Structures are given as structure tokens and as C-alpha cells.
Amino acid sequence: MTSEMIIRRYRPSDQGVVTDLWSRAAWQAHPFIDGEGTGERARLLREVDLAQAENWVAEREGRVIGLLGLRVGGPGDGNRTGAEVRGLCVAPEAQGGGAGRELLEHAAARHGAMTLEVFEGNDRARGFCAHLGFTERGRRTDEETGHPLITLERAAPLKSVSWLHVREGRLLSVRTRGNDTFYLPGGKYEPGETAREALSRELGEELGLVVPAEELSDAFVIHDIAHGKNGRRLHMTCFTGGPQDIAPAPGREIAEYAWFDRQEARERCAPAHAQVVARLVAQGRMPG
């Protein structure tokens, strides 16, 4: 699948299609549970989960293909942060197309840390969650079905911003002092900053560039493993815009800058670069 995916809020008019895809996905994932996807469990989905949870859907070509339900805070939670995933399902015919990952990363961008439970017998879900950086926190027996459940958790992703500046088909990258890996220009937010403000400041500090925040335009978001952060996930918002004819002046923390083609970026840059370059190639901004 190559068409654009949209993540949006669940609407009451979605109930029929999401109930159907949940029923089919649940039965596929949990064939060991009698009556899964039907009866009382389907009623609870319609009358409780869809009514009370924070629900999001994944949509492609005008068709809803995935559902995510979240519990965020609540009575007695105190200063609880993050979100509990109450349910995640993707239509069987759409599985493997990225909808589940995009839904979870959307939740992480909004709420940070996440927890969820999967049945021990659902090997595919356990592998999917492990791939996305979830680790086991505990186990219990589900009172309703008698089957073991595994509680998984994932820390909030590191949120950063980066600048996409391509010159003659090569992508601008920077290397910090004491590090042999190149990254995209940019960095982390400071308290109270918007994404554009953070990137404008970082470009001034790293490369001596004056790029007003209002000249920056959203390009896309990359989800990957943060380089050198022990497997922690990265949520990197990429921007274009600003001056094209630049003369970088590396700041105190920057050892050097360079423009890399696709192969050089793969060999010398942080893992997220591969996704960035692939997107730029698809957009025709870099040669394949």
C-alpha cells in the first residue's frame, strides 16, 4: 500500500465498520478464546469502549482500517502520565501496512509513555510490540477467559525536530564533537517552545543560520530508534523551508557539516536518516 494514511478521531458514524473490523481481527488474533469477536465482548466494545475511551482510527483511501482505544488518566490516577492502550486492531486484509504502528506512534506523540496487555498466546502481537520497543512489566490471569495476559510498557519517545536541506541531491548533515555519527541539523525542544521555535533556535546554535520559525514548513514525522539511547524510541518532526543559499558556521558543539547522497547517508548517519532519505527519494528531492 502506498496511498497516504490518515489518523483521526473516531466518530459515532464509524461504529459499524470498526465493530466489524474488530470482530474479524479479534477472532484472528485470539482463536483460543471461545466466542471472541462476538456476543458480550462485542457489546462491551460498542457500549463501553467506543463510548468511554479516547478512540482513534486509521483511514486509507476513505476506508477505516484500524482502531485504537486509549485510557488517559481518570479518577484516582493522581499525577498519572502516559496512556493505557485499551485496544488496538487492524482489519486482517490491511495488516502489515503500517496502520497499527502509526496508531501507536500517534498515541505516543500525544501522551508519551504507554502500557498495554496482550494475551500470551497472541504471538504475532507480542512480536509486533517487541519490535516497537515494548518490554514486559508483569503478568496476570484474565478473569473472564482464564488465559494469561502479559503487561507491556514503553517509555515516552524522545521528541526532536530536524531540518531537511537538500543541495544538488545531497542532504545536509552535522556531526557533534566526540561523535563519529552524523545527524540532521536540529535537536530537542526547550520548555515552552513550539517545534518551529525549537528548530529555529537549534539552527542558530548549531550552524549560525537565521531561519525564522514562520519560514519553516512541516514535511513529515519519522519514528525510529534513537541512536545511542539504549533502544528508546524517537519521534522526529522534519521541516523544510528557510534560505536555500546558506553558508553554515558550525557552533561550539558541532565538529563539522557535510552533504551526503543516499549511499553516504546510509553508511555515516544515524538510523533515522535512512527513513528520511527514502521519503526524500520518493518525493523526487534526492536521486534513488
**Coil, helix or strand for 142?**
coil
pLDDT value for 70: 97
Q: What is the DSSP letter of 156?
A: P
Give the span between the Cα atoms of 122 and 72, in whole angstroms: 25
SS (H, E, C) 246-271: CCCCCCCCEEEEEEECHHHHHHHECC
pTM of the model: 0.80
Give the pLDDT confidence score for residue 42 in this predicted structure: 87
Task: Specify the pLDDT at position 231.
Answer: 82
User: pLDDT value at position 81?
Assistant: 66
Q: How far is CA 143 from CA 146, 147, 152, in A?
A: 5, 8, 18
- Across the range 259-285, mean pLDDT stands at 93
Predicted local confidence at residue 39, as pLDDT: 86
pLDDT > 70 fraction of the chain, expressed in percent and rounded: 96
Average pLDDT on 31-37 reads 90
Please determine, for residue 20, whether its predicted confidence score (pLDDT) is greater than 90.
yes
pLDDT, residue 75, reads: 41
The answer, yes or no, to whether residue 89 has pLDDT greater than 70, is yes
pLDDT band at 1 (very low <50, low <70, confident <90, very high): very low
Evaluate if residue 47 carries a pLDDT over 50.
yes
Sign for the pseudo-dihedral over CA of 180, 182, 188, 193: positive
Query: The cell 536521486 sits on which residue?
Result: 287
Residue type present at position 58: A
| Amino acid at site 60 | R
Q: Is the pLDDT of residue 2 over 60?
A: no
Q: Which residue has the higher pLDDT, 105 or 41?
A: 105
Give φ, ψ of 52 to 5 degrees: -115, -25
What confidence tens digit (pLDDT) does each residue in 133-185 have?
999 999 999 998 999 999 999 999 999 999 999 999 999 999 999 999 999 99
Q: Is the pLDDT of residue 192 over 50?
A: yes
How many Å apart are CA 6 and CA 72, to the nearest integer? 22
Q: Which of 20-24, 70-74, 224-228, 231-235 has the highest mean pLDDT?
A: 20-24
pLDDT, residue 78, reads 41
Mean pLDDT of the residues in the chain: 93
pLDDT tens, 222-264? 999 898 888 889 999 999 999 999 999 999 999 999 999 999 9
Three-point CA angle 226, 231, 233, nearest 5°: 50
